[in-house]
Amino acid sequence: MARPNPAMPIYGDANLAERDARNAQRAQRARRDAANRSLIVKTLITSVVLVLLLLYLMPLGYSIVTSFSSKSQVSDVRAPVLPSARMQFEYQRRTLDVLEVPIDGESRELALVRSGRASSTFVDPADPAAGEIEWEGSWRTLAPVYTLDIEWENYPRAFQFIDFMQLLRNTLMYAFITTIAATASAAVVAYGFARFRFPFKGILFMLLISTIILPPQATLVPQYAVFFRLGWVGTWLPLIIPTFFANAYNVFLLRQYFLTIPTELEEAARVDGAGPIRTFVSIILPQAVPALIAVSLFHFFFAWNDFFGPLIYLAGSQQLQPISVGLFRFNGLYASEPQLIQAASIMTMLIPLTIFFFAQRFFMQGVVITGVDK
Amino acid sequence: MDYVTEIQSSLASERGRSKRLSRAELREARWGYAFIGLWLVGFLAFYLLPMAASLVFSFLDLDLLNPSRSTFVGLENWRRLLFEDPLVWQSLRVTFVFAAISLPIGMVSALFLAVLLNSADLIGRNLFRTLFYAPTMVPVVAGILIWSGVLNPATGWINQLIQWATGLQVANPNGIRWLDDARIIYLTYTMIGIWGIGNAILYNLAALQGVPSELYEAAKIDGASWFRRLRSIMLPMISPVIFYNLVLSFVGLMQYFQVPYVLNGGNGYPEGTTFFYLIHFYRQSFQFLDMGYGSAIAWLLFVIALAITATLFATAKHWVYYAGERR
């Protein structure tokens, strides 16, 4: 097929070069326009999302700021947003409040020496030697002056009042034991469902999955009754023992992951005479490390959050309660000290949030496997 | 795609294999049972037997301290549950009204945020995804206490922000009383629940990434509007995940307990609007120790949850699209 030779001039040479230049210019302008437009779109969308994010995280900001504020500031409606205290000034062995006083059209920060109904006496903290200043008007209408004042003490106090070390020890112990138990048992069961054929497998798997939808309260009373008769209420046993028997969520996630592992290595191992247990331990588990980490993280966070179980089983054993119930109890005792409650809340989230930020890759992959993957 | 297809396909593989097992198959089956045995034992001990026991308990006046003094009361607990106890219907109504408000708002927010976080025009997508997920990692009790502070009518930032933005004088003890006003209490609780939608956002995100971009491009060439592309391509393609989120949110809402319990100890404040079904269950079973009646309450919850999940699954085939489905 004959193609037009691009080198062949159609018009005069000069004309062509001119057109080329013009086209190039136009294309460049179009590209620039497109780039500009997409930059505008990008900025627009990013700012919208940023605003949404700030709104979404605002309670966290409130909590952090409050946890560093003094008790008097928390209840002071006029106080500024950041942790602060009313400015005061030592004058003639007295502690004076510093107020914003409008004098001759400008606002000055003056310390109140004597308050009167119609006029008050002030002194300038920056220049006390200048003497006392009379001001006409009601001092009650004047706004106080604030200075930045971070109340670090809230954290040690909350730490001590809530007995954080004890709660942390309990929670970590409970979380570690049950995480290991839940992950190990789920891996074993998941391998059974992923690699073996046996009668009633479909029905059993359906039963397993349907336990996700079953409200746990439906089985709670008899479980409680049995644990009570065994004398286990008031110990961790009712919370720990069930985790040794594989939970449907974790089994589902691990089974999905095992199904994606090619079977060649397992077959080779079988030919070499390895039994199912050895194959599972030395071939499957090492290849499933990301999924095992994800399941462990899920369970760890679940244990950190677990509330209903500890609430009913450990109601009478304060010294065994985990952080969730401890924080709930603390809230009841210190309702009049919001700054301590916020400090304690921040303390309880430090460990989960730190782990999450470091391990989020495994974590998010795991979430996606349970929800979406085939 | 999710549990639904899993169950369907595993049931399908169950059929047509009723013949006798060969020796090798028998060996394999034995090993299979050995591996799942742990779960089987747990299923019997922690699900099947307690379910049956719970049903039996619902016919007893159970005395936990002296089991020998428990008496068989026949349908007494059930009669009380269904016909006499006004708190049952009140708490069911509370639970369903709250679900009707909270579920759509939560699901639409999760989808909306997922679409934004999936946008190619968003700078710093991964950072945004992490930060939007972070509140889901905040321990639930801590999250509730944080919200209870930020919602304080006078000193909380929400009213102060509204006052700053609109000029309305709402940041005072008589301003917007988020946790005390029965008219807006469900919106408040929904707002608190929004901190827990991280997983739903992630599921939606993963589903959105799975929609082939050729579909959008083809529709664009055909002149389909933005709304049309949303309705006819995006929503059907991600409908399995929407369904999954719907079922899980619903199951979670039926068990709604922690937020009202932490905020007001389960007293239903204000005006009984936060007296959820599980609060009723908890008080009867573990505060009044009326465990026979508590079992009946729990069984009714089970029946209701089962009925509604079954209905959801039945409607699924009309609106949930499975790409791998054989028709």
Identify from B4, B44, B62, B138 which residue to disrupt to test chain A contact, counting A C-beta atoms within 10 A and taking the largest count. Answer: B138
User: Using alpha carbons only, what angle is made at residue A331 by residues B152 and B257, rounded to the nearest 5 degrees?
Assistant: 85
Query: Residue B155 is nearest to which of A41, A74, A372, comparing CB atoms?
Result: A74
Q: Which long-range contacts (CB under 8 A, 24 or more apart) does A163-167 make?
A: A163/A326, A164/A344, A164/A347, A166/A319, A166/A326, A167/A321, A167/A322, A167/A323, A167/A326, A167/A327
For residue B307, what pLDDT band results from cuts at 50, 70 and 90?
very high
B46, B143, B281: residue with CB nearest A219 = B46
Helix, strand or coil for residue A135?
A: strand
Quote helix, strand, coil % in chain A, to nearest 5.
65, 10, 25
Residues of A in contact with B57 (CB under 8 A): 221-222, 225
Cα–Cα distance, B110 to B108 (Å, whole number): 5
Q: Does domain A162-371 have CATH number 1.10.357.10?
A: no
| Among candidates B54, B291, B309 on the partner chain, residue whose Cβ is nearest the Cβ of A213 | B309
In angstroms, the first-to-last Cα distance of chain B is 16
Beta bridge partners, A85, equal A147
Q: How far B293 CA sits from the closest chain A CA (Å)?
A: 10
Q: How far is A143 from chain B (nearest CA, A)?
A: 17
Match 């644990």 to its residue by tokens: A227
Residue A90, H or E segment: strand A88-91
pLDDT for A1: 42
Contact flag B31-A196 (C-beta cutoff 8 Å): yes
Q: What are the tokens at A209?
A: 């999955």
Q: Is the pTM of this model over 0.90?
A: no
Nearest to A177 by CA among A130, A237, A224: A237
Cβ of residue B291 closer than 8 Å to a chain A Cβ: yes
Token pair of B234 as six digits: 């995006």
More confident residue, B174 or A80: B174
| Residue-level pLDDT at B77 | 94
Contact criterion met (CB below 8 Å) for B200 and B137: no
- CA distance readout (Å), B61 to B30, B72, B288, B290, B294: 43, 6, 13, 8, 10
Q: Do A307 and B113 touch (CB under 8 A)?
A: no
* CB distance A169 to A230 below 8 Å: no
pLDDT at A270 over 70: yes
- Sign of the CA dihedral running B166, B168, B169, B170: negative
Specify burial of residue B93 (Cβ count, 10 A radius: 0-12, 13-18, 19+): middle
The partner residue sitting opposite A367, judged by closest CB among B132, B199, B251, is B199
Highest mean pLDDT of the ranges A24-28, B152-156, B277-281: B277-281
Q: A164 to chain B, minimum CA–CA distance in Å?
A: 14
State the average pLDDT over residues B141-169.
93
- Tell me the one-letter amino acid at A369: I
Q: Are B138 and A353 in contact, with CB atoms under 8 Å apart?
A: yes
Amino acid A279: pLDDT: 92
- Distance between A199 CA and the closest CA of chain B, angstroms: 7
Extended beta strands in chain B, E state:
60-61, 71-72
| pLDDT range class, residue B254, cuts 50, 70, 90 | very high
- Average pLDDT, integer, range B261-278: 94
pLDDT, tens digit, for every residue of B24-47? 889 999 999 999 999 999 999 999
Task: Please say whether the beta carbons of A350 and A164 come within 8 A.
Answer: no
Each residue's pLDDT tens digit, A83-94: 888 888 888 888
Radius of gyration of chain B (CA): 25
Minimal-distance CA residue of chain B relative to A39: B121
Query: Residue A225 above 60 pLDDT?
Result: yes
Dist. CA B21–CA B163, nearest whole Å: 75
Is B1 touching A (CB cutoff 8 A)?
yes
**B46 phi/psi in degrees, rounded to 5:** -110, -5
For residue B325, pLDDT over 70 is answered with no
What ipTM, to 2 d.p.? 0.87
| Virtual torsion, Cα A28, A29, A33, A36, nearest 10 deg | 70
B96 touches chain A (CB under 8 A): no
Res A3: pLDDT: 46
Average the pLDDT over B292-318 and give the result.
Answer: 93
Q: Which domains does chain B have, with CATH numbers?
A: 77-138+195-319 (1.10.3720.10)
Range in A10-24, B18-32, B281-295 the model is least confident about: A10-24
Q: Of B43, B135, B254, which has the smallest distance from its Cβ to A215's Cβ? A: B254
- Residue range A213-234: mean pLDDT, rounded: 92
Question: Cα–Cα distance between B188 and B177 in angstroms, integer?
Answer: 10
Nearest Cα residue in chain A from B281: A217
Which residues between 34 and 63 in chain B have a beta carbon less than 8 angstroms from any beta carbon of chain A? 34-36, 38-43, 45-47, 49-51, 53-54, 57, 62
The pLDDT tens digits for A129-148 are 887 888 888 878 888 888 88
